[in-house]
Amino acid sequence: MGEVKRENLAEALLARHSAPRSGAGWALSARRAARDRVLALGAAGRRDEYWRYTNPAALNGAEAPDVEVLQLDETPVFDGVEKLLITFVDGVYRPDLSDDLQGENLEIMTLEEALEVDIHWASDLFGVFEARGQNPVPRPFAALNTAMAGQGVVIRANGKVTKPVALRYCRENRQSDVLLHHVIRVESGAELTVLENGAGGARLNTVMEVDVADGGSFHHLRAQGRDHTRLAITHIFARLGAEARFKSFTLTVNGQLTRNEVVLDIDGDDTKASVAGACLGDGDFLHDDTIFVTHDARDCESRQVFKKVLKNGATGVFQGKILVKADAQKTDGYQISQGLLLDDDSNFLAKPELEIYADDVACSHGSTCGAVDENSLFYLMSRGVPRKQAQNMMILAFLDEAIAEIENEELAEDIRTRLSGWAERHSA
Amino acid sequence: MSTQESIAKDGVDAETVDAVKTVGEKYKYGFATDIEMEYAPKGVNEDIVRLISSKNEEPEWMLEWRLDAFRRWEKMTEPKWAMVNYPEIDFQDIYYYARPKSMIEKPKSLDDVDPKLLETYKKLGIPLSEQAILAGVEGAGDTPVEGRKVAVDAVFDSVSVGTTFKKELAAAGVIFCSISEAIKDHPELVKKYLGTVVPPTDNYYATLNSAVFSDGSFVYIPEGVKCPMELSTYFRINAENTGQFERTLIIAEKGAQVSYLEGCTAPMRDENQLHAAVVELIIQEDADIKYSTVQNWYPGDENGVGGIYNFVTKRADCRGDRAKVMWTQVETGSAVTWKYPSCILRGDDSQGEFYSIAITNNMQQADTGTKMIHLGKRTKSRIVSKGISAGKAQNTYRGLVSIHPKAVNSRNYTQCDSLLIGDKCGAHTVPYMECRNNSSRIEHEATTSKVDDEQLFYCRQRGMGEEEAVALIVNGFAKEVLQSLPMEFAMEAQKLVAISLEGSVG
Amino acid sequence: MFEIKNLKASLADEDKQILKGMNLKIGAGEVHAIMGPNGSGKSTMSYVASGKGGYVVDEGEVLLDGANLLDMEPDERAAAGLFLAFQYPVEIPGVGNMTFLRTAVNAQRKMRGEDELNAAQFLKIVREKAKALKIDADMLKRPVNVGFSGGEKKRNEILQMAMLEPKVCILDETDSGLDVDAMKLVAEGVNALRDGKRSFLVITHYQRLLDHIVPDVVHIMADGKIIKSGGPELALEVENNGYEGLMNEVV
């Protein structure tokens, strides 16, 4: 009985978007395959092991919620850095609000264009990484995205790209239900930084497929929009070659529901990867990081660093896994997830997993949850720092291990400023 | 054996090989006792349930309880979420009841018990006599503690063979007997508590157990009584194709204290045998139960042939304020282990502790851990789990710490370490942490590593054989848990660590 | 200027009174020492005076220039001029030592209605004071007390004292865990801050610290009260005869 319902729900998911009709052969077949995956996987349900802490109902719902468009008078995140700006408004590429799609060592075009090209490198990635990432944990919203998304960017870095590519997601429509799909390839020895910023839609579903070739380096920094009741489900699927570098950091402030999934496959030796996030939630807020890192090569290092500050009934979820395959000797895997509960109504739910089949490894994970340490608070106050300010200092100190994962100090400082802004605004 | 050969090949001298030999003995509980048995027909159905009930001369309510459970079980499916793989169990191809013929007429006292049975326990190192010596486990004899006594309930296949020190315990008000006797002699207690911690509907194996359990131990410690001696139950599966379904119920009234030990072995047989036990602990205000297990069921051979499927449900309910429970387990045996001794911390200021060593070697698989459910205020829990995986074994820690909104000012600390020996095995950690108030604190740490080469070299350089060195290091790795065992069990466990790692290096 | 009046305080969690009517009066510029056996309430007094949670004041007052500190939050007490050098300085990972100091200094200045120090002014003062205490740049950069040795932690406390310029300093067993050289360095730091106006209350087990920070008055504390007061010679008496004799004498 339950299964039938699930399939119906999967069909309903597909029915709520209209898929682009045209495209090159490979694009059409990738979409068709994704459509079949959605139906085969069924919709996400509360009884699924990886949805036990997050109710997918609002993401499964037929319509996006009506979300007030937040008007901010402060400058957007990353505004200060020199960048190549690409703007999407309610999920639609806006050339008028974007820079020219060109840059040194950079090939860049919209997804719409790329999917029309008969022979395109993106055909090796589009829907391919997502499909691979469905096992062993099903991710139906990602398959839905591949099947239905018509907008996004396709980026290829052929060398060192000095200016970050900044994707800005604006919204004007109160009920926009947005799908964005990006395909990124960092060639051997190339370097690329991608920034993402903004809520993008009342309900946003993004997929980013990233291939980092041997010796390539990819940095990703994201600030998800502050619109209070927005929903977001995001996926990053990345494959890392030998001696590659991968860093992704996400800042989440507000939003009713956010689920960020990252699926990393470390394929080549001597690679280093880091996935980190800081989130701040006040009130009706659920924030879920679901991370799956697979080590399938020697001498690699991966880090997962997630910190969540929660108050007024906010819920933080962390599900992280390090899988070390038998041949991935000398793996160094580190994972930390911590919840800081500012009051008695908030929840922190964590499932940090290790699955290890190689013996010469050093893997560790730690997870803690609790209130601001009273001793430290007293120490600060005894030196004359008022309670509110002392607590804010403790919040920032708590988050700092995650911020420290950001490669670029200037961007990290920008994030710190946002965080202390939140702490100020929300300290009662 | 191949182990010795491979070590010898490495050019290690004969002395080292001898040293290893004395440390690493084979599974030495693998003998079978040739004894005439009475079996119920193979398979399980309502008639078998009735038969077991009538063999135990149970009252009607007990039979109804069993039948209820059986009807539920028929509608249930086996849980599949654990990280263990084993062929489908044919539940109709198992004997659910087997007792030595000599036990049909229950012996009046231990003196009347079939000498063959007594001999079996003697061979296992469990003298079923009331000597004022340290009994219970082997290896303890080296350092006798004057006047220390351990009362033993011996369960052989489906029945309890006898219980020692009953009179002396009765004088203190302690009831220690088999559960079948308790159902007859203390129905009011059994009725009041049985199934209140692990309800018959709890899970597939617990429900099956509720329907077909044949025997087990019963302990009742009245208010304010500190049990004058340690209690232990020794479980032995002997008969072929037989499942053992024992049920243990321990009640510690207000302020009562007891330390309980449990040991398990089985002969080496080529087929897999099922052991699905249920243990329920009820702990009232200020009471304290220590429950230690050395599980050494036959693990199967190095190719994974034979061995026990150990699917056990153990749970403690700290009902009163300041109630305390401590689970300690040393899991070295069984082909497959599926076991999560849990604590429900209901009373304010109640405490639960879980200390575990799980060693898997060859083709063994273990998925074990605990659940700490914090309901009362200021409740505390501590989890220390040490998993050691060797050969082609898979070893998983699975645990839940849940702190409910009303369990204010509660604490949990979890330390969960895995050690891998060799590159064909796996070590996994699956913790669930749920914190629902901010005055409580959860701390969880986990590490996975291999035996440190430098430590190994240091030991070898000082003259230890590789296996001995590994055993030593592993014992050090598991020290915190070993220390929480009653002394005599700790020594047994240390030896077991060495034995169960045999063949893991080289 | 600093006065403890009939102070009675208990542990909040247990129904156990630790301070049982303590009285103490320290004039401006004076150095007093409190000695006493373990469990006599010395540290409790310092915590209650500075406002640590977990204690209930049953009765009494702690006055600084006439204002009752017990009515204030810990940070207000600090701004009022009270400084506690902790027996076990707290480690705060993630908070840089400099950030910590600057925040504290400026918070106090702000509370007193003074201008905040800008980064350059602040840095200059810190460097100067740190140098005297042999605190290097690296120690200033590291998170507060994290990875500091016992001596480094105590020197860091004195540096904070120097930066915050309090009116009354309570030193809670500042000598514990220090070797002679480290103790001398700490004592020099303290002595440098004796300016004839600032008052000190030195809590210690041993006479040896008092060789370096010479007190004007020595108090003996037992069972939550001051049982005897006298000059520096009282400390020597304790050193030679222990507390036993003194306590019997009083009873």
Interhelix angle C119-132/C97-111, rounded to 10 degrees, is 110
Taking a C-beta distance cutoff of 8 angstroms, is the pair C12, C34 a contact? no
Q: Across residues A131-141, what is the average pLDDT?
A: 95
> C51 pLDDT exceeds 60?
yes
Provide, rounded to the nearest whole percent, the portion of chain A with pLDDT above 90.
85
Of A342, A358, A369, the CB nearest to B435: A369
Q: Tell if the CB–CB gap between A353 and B418 is shorter than 8 Å.
A: no
Interface of C with A (CB under 8 A): 50-53, 73-75, 77-79, 83-84, 86, 89-90, 92-95, 99-100, 103-105, 107-108, 111, 143, 160, 164
Residue A329: predicted pLDDT: 94
The runs of H, that is alpha helices, within C66-118 are: 74-80, 97-111
Dihedral Cα C40, C46, C51, C54, nearest 10 deg:
-30
DSSP state of B439: S
Q: Return d(Cα A207, Cα B54) in angstroms, integer.
A: 64
Q: What is the DSSP letter of B362?
A: T
Q: How far is B155 from chain A (nearest CA, A)?
A: 37
Distance in Å, alpha carbon of B86 to nearest chain A alpha carbon: 19
Q: Report helix, strand or coil for C54.
A: coil
Residues of chain A found within 8 Å of residue C77, distances taken between Cβ atoms: 382
Taking an 8 Å cut-off on Cβ atoms, the answer to whether A344 and B442 are in contact is: no
- B452 close contact with A: CB closer than 8 A: no
Q: Which two tokens stand for residue B355?
A: 């200390």
Contact A378 C86 (CB under 8 A): no
- Residue-wise pLDDT tens digits, B120-170: 777 777 766 665 333 333 333 333 344 457 778 888 777 777 778 888 899
Cβ-defined contact of A355 to B428 (cutoff 8 Å): yes
Indicate the number of domains in chain B: 1
Distance from CA of C221 to the nearest CA of A (A): 24
pLDDT score, position C250: 58
The CA distances from residue B486 to A182, B155, B236, B281, B326, in Å, are 60, 21, 21, 19, 12
- Residue A428 is predicted with a pLDDT of 62
Classify domain C2-250 at the CATH topology level.
Rossmann fold (3.40.50)
Is B452 strand, coil or helix? Answer: coil
Higher pLDDT, A156 or B492: A156
Tell me chain C's radius of gyration from C-alpha atoms. Answer: 18
> How much is the average pLDDT of C63-69?
93
Task: Answer whether A386 touches C (CB < 8 Å).
Answer: yes
Instruction: Give the helix/strand (H/E) hosting C24.
Output: strand C16-26
Task: Yes or no: say if B271 and B90 are a contact pair by the CB < 8 Å rule.
Answer: no
* Per-residue pLDDT at C187 exceeds 50: yes
Q: Which residues of A touch C55 (CB under 8 A)?
A: none
Q: What is the mean predicted confidence (pLDDT) over A258-279?
A: 97
The mean pLDDT of chain C is 88
Q: Which of A333, A321, A265, A275 is nearest to A297 (CA)?
A: A265
Run of H or E residues at B166: helix B166-171
Segment of A317-321, B473-477, C225-229 carrying the highest mean pLDDT: A317-321
Which of A41-45, B127-131, C22-26, C71-75 is least confident?
A: B127-131
DSSP B57: T
Does A393 contact C at CB distance below 8 Å?
yes
Report pLDDT for B20.
36
| pLDDT on residue B8 | 31
Residue to substitute from A307, A368, A376, A382, interface C, most C β-carbons within 10 A: A382
**What is the mean pLDDT of the segment spanning C87-110?**
84
Domain assignment present for residue B496? The answer is yes
pLDDT at position B498 is: 75
Is the per-residue pLDDT at B25 higher than 70?
no
B205, B276 in Cβ contact below 8 A?
Answer: yes
Residue to test with chain B: of A282, A322, A368, A376, most B Cβ within 10 A: A368
Q: What is the model's pLDDT at position B505? A: 66
Report whether pLDDT(B19) > 50.
Answer: no
Query: Is residue C21 classed as helix, strand or coil in its secondary structure?
Result: strand
Domain boundaries, chain C: 2-250
**Residue A261 · residue A235 · CB < 8 Å:** yes
Does A357 contact B436 at a Cβ distance shorter than 8 Å? no
B 369-428 residues with CB below 8 A of A?
Answer: 405, 408, 418, 420-428
- Does pLDDT of A338 surpass 70? yes
What ipTM did this prediction achieve? 0.87
Q: Residues B323-372: pLDDT tens digits?
A: 999 999 999 888 999 999 999 999 999 999 999 999 998 899 999 999 99
Q: Is A81 on the interface with C (CB under 8 A)?
A: no
Residue reference for tokens 């497959």:
B336
Distance, CA of C46 to CA of A407 (rounded, Å)? 44
Q: What is the rounded CA–CA span in Å between residue B124 and residue B298?
A: 13
Share of chain B above pLDDT 90, in %: 46
What is the model's pLDDT at position B135? 37
Q: What does each C-alpha distance from B95 to A190, B41, B242 come to in angstroms?
A: 67, 7, 5
With CB atoms and an 8 Å threshold, state whether A354 touches B449: no
Contacts of A371 in chain B (CB under 8 A): 438-439, 441
Q: How many CB atoms lie within 10 A of CB B69?
A: 24
Q: How many CA atoms lie within 13 A of B216 on its CB side?
A: 24
Provide the pLDDT for residue B22.
Answer: 38
Provide the 3-class DSSP secondary structure of residue B5. helix
Please name the member of C79, C94, C99 whose beta carbon is closest to the beta carbon of A384.
Answer: C79
What are the extents of the domains in chain A?
2-371
Across B14-26, average pLDDT: 41
Residues B97, B52: contact at Cβ < 8 Å?
yes
pLDDT in tens, B406-449: 999 999 999 999 999 888 899 999 999 999 999 999 999 999 98
- pLDDT per residue over B51-75, tens digit each? 999 988 999 999 999 999 999 999 9
Q: How confident is the model at residue B13 (pLDDT cuts 50, 70, 90)?
A: very low
Q: Would you state the pLDDT for residue B111?
A: 75
Mean pLDDT of all residues in A144-159 = 97
CB neighbours of residue B19 within 10 Å: 17
Is-contact B334 B312, C-beta < 8 A?
no
Per-residue HEC secondary structure of chain A comes to: CHHHHHHHHHHHHHHCCCCCCCCCHHHHHHHHHHHHHHHHHCCCCCCCHHHCCCCCHHHHCCCCCCCCCCCCCCCCCCCCCCCEEEEEECCEECHHHCCCCCECCEEEEEHHHHCCCCCCHHHHCCCHHHHHCCCCCCCHHHHHHHHHCCCCEEEEECCECCCCEEEEEECCCCCCEEEEEEEEEECCCCEEEEEEEECCCCEEEEEEEEEECCCCEEEEEEEECCCCCCEEEEEEEEEECCCCEEEEEEEEECCCEEEEEEEEEECCCCCEEEEEEEEEEECCCEEEEEEEEEECCCCCEEEEEEEEEEECCCEEEEEEEEEECCCCCCCEEEEEEEEEECCCCCEEEEEEEEEECCCCCEEEEEEEEECCCHHHHHHHHHCCCCHHHHHHHHHHHHHHHHHCCCCCHHHHHHHHHHHHHHHHHHCC
- pLDDT band of residue B3 (cuts 50, 70, 90) is very low
Kindly state the average pLDDT of the residues A28-41: 95
| Per-residue pLDDT at B130 | 60
Say what the pLDDT of residue B129 is.
65
Q: Which residue of A has its CA nearest to B408?
A: A344
Note down the domain range covering B458.
1-30+453-506
Partner C contacted by A378 (CB < 8 A): yes
Per-residue pLDDT for A262 more than 80? yes
Give the pLDDT band of residue B268 (cuts 50, 70, 90). confident
Q: Which residue among A384, A386, A393 sits closest to C164, beta carbon to beta carbon?
A: A384
Average pLDDT rounded to a whole number, residues C236-248: 79
Longest dimension (CA), chain B: 68
Q: How far apart are CA B375 and CA B406, in angstroms?
A: 7
β-pair type (C55-64, C2-11): antiparallel
Q: Does A374 touch chain C (CB under 8 A)?
A: yes
Chain A residues whose CB is inside 8 A of the C103 CB are 380, 385, 389, 393
Residues of C in contact with A371 (CB under 8 A): none
pLDDT band at C207 (very low <50, low <70, confident <90, very high): confident
B111 in contact with A, Cβ within 8 Å: no
Chain B hits for A326, Cβ within 8 Å: 423-424
B39 - beta bridge partners?
A: B98
Within 8 A of A329 by CB-CB distance, chain B residues are 423
B86 interfacial to chain A (CB closer than 8 Å): no
Specify the pLDDT at position A198: 93
B18 DSSP assignment: H
Lowest mean pLDDT among A93-107, B266-280, B475-489: B475-489
B37 or A236, greater pLDDT: A236
C158 and C85 Cβ atoms separated by less than 8 Å: yes
Q: Is the dihedral of CA C231, C232, C235, C237 positive or negative?
A: negative
The answer to whether the CB atoms of C108 and A384 lie below 8 A apart is yes
Is the confidence at residue B263, as pLDDT, over 70? yes
Q: Is the pLDDT of residue A231 over 90?
A: yes
More confident residue, B468 or B343: B343
Query: Which segments of B175-295 does DSSP mark as H helices, in order?
Result: 179-185, 187-193, 204-212
State percent of chain B over pLDDT 70: 89
- Tens-place pLDDT, residues B164-213: 888 889 999 999 998 998 999 999 999 999 999 999 999 999 999 999 99
Q: Which residues are C63's β-sheet partners?
A: C3, C68
Instruction: Count interface pairs A-B at CB distance under 8 A.
Output: 117
pLDDT tier at A116 (50, 70, 90 boundaries)? Answer: very high
**pLDDT tier for residue B506 given thresholds of 50, 70 and 90:** low
Q: Which of the other chains make 3 or more beta carbon contacts under 8 angstroms with chain B? A: A
Residue-level pLDDT at C114: 86
Angle, helices C119-132 vs C150-164, to 10°: value is 130
Please give the mean pLDDT across all residues of chain A: 93
Using CA atoms of C98, C103, C106, C107 in order, give the dihedral in degrees to the nearest 10.
-160
Q: Is the pLDDT of residue A147 over 70?
A: yes
Q: Residue C52: which of A378, A394, A396 has the nearest Cβ?
A: A378
Give, in order, the Cα–Cα distances in Å from B248 to each of B97, B235, B313, B504, C209.
Answer: 17, 11, 10, 34, 62
Pairing assessment for the beta strands C16-26 and A301-311 based on DSSP bridges = unpaired
Q: Is the pLDDT of residue B10 over 70?
A: no
Per-residue pLDDT at C248 exceeds 80: no
Contact B429 A365 (CB under 8 A): yes
